[in-house]
Amino acid sequence: MYSYDWQQYFKALENKIKQMENQMKELETQIYSIQERPMTNIEKIEYNFDQLKIESLEGTLNIGLSPDGLSSEELSIPNPNNQQQGTNPPRSQPLVQDIMQELQGYFNQTLPTKINQFAQETEKSFPPGFQNMIMQDVYKQLPDRIQHYIRLHSENNNGMLNKETKQQIMEDVKKEITHSVKKFIDGNEGGTTR
């Protein structure tokens, strides 16, 4: 009976080897069929946006100031030629309103100049209204960014906010706006090379 057990064992091993050989042949056939298929190779895709005619430019432009995204409230940038204030900032906190009021000069004079300067440095031209769209997007995000810097500076100053801190908050907001707008314009987005 002992030799019978060995014979059964060898027979089982032989069957297993045959099964594995068949499986290996199937896999080789599959590999061969995959290799025979024609491969799709896309070398380079070029888009020529300068050949497109843009009749209207609508929507929201997010240039990356706010990590929390955009607020849903609609705001407009005050027109420097029109002294009336179109809309008030959505925040009721007096410090945010005060800082936004003090940043109006930056928005009305410095920011448009910087946008034009960055566009010239990168030798890009933008469609009409593009500068205004950038400014509106930045303005929408402004209250949240001011709140961010108020929280940051109040934590660093044990909750105390004085005139120097307020001035530092305004400088931080200006630096962030300038950096974000420059990065946006440098990033090949929106403009065409002259």
Asked, for residue 80, whether it belongs to a domain, the answer is no
- pLDDT surpasses 80 at 70: no
Q: Which of 145, 146, 9, 179 has its CA nearest to residue 66? A: 145
Q: Which of 149, 156, 137 has its CA nearest to residue 173? A: 149
pTM of structure? 0.49
**Whole domain around residue 17: which residue ranges?**
1-30
Give CA–CA dist 112/126, Å, rounded: 13
Q: What is the pLDDT of residue 188?
A: 47
Asked, for residue 157, whether it belongs to a domain, the answer is yes
Residue of 158 and 14 predicted with greater confidence: 14
Asked, for residue 160, whether it belongs to a domain, the answer is yes
Cα angle, residue 85 at apex, residues 80 and 91 outer, rounded to 5°:
120
Residue of 46 and 179 predicted with greater confidence: 179
As a whole number, the mean pLDDT across the chain is 75
Asked, for residue 68, whether it belongs to a domain, the answer is no
Asked, for residue 125, whether it belongs to a domain, the answer is yes
- pLDDT surpasses 90 at 50: no
Give CA–CA dist 107/79, Å, rounded: 10
The answer to whether residues 26 and 102 belong to one domain is no
- pLDDT surpasses 80 at 44: no
Q: pLDDT of 185-194, one tens digit each?
A: 887 454 555 4
Confidence of residue 60 (pLDDT cuts 50, 70, 90): low
The count of C-alpha atoms lying within 13 angstroms of the C-alpha of 181, restricted to the half-sphere facing its C-beta, is 29
Asked, for residue 10, whether it belongs to a domain, the answer is yes
Q: 125 with 192: CB under 8 angstroms? A: yes
Q: Which of 114, 130, 121, 123 has its CA nearest to residue 190? A: 130
Asked, for residue 170, whether it belongs to a domain, the answer is yes
Q: What is the pLDDT of residue 57?
A: 66
Asked, for residue 55, whether it belongs to a domain, the answer is no
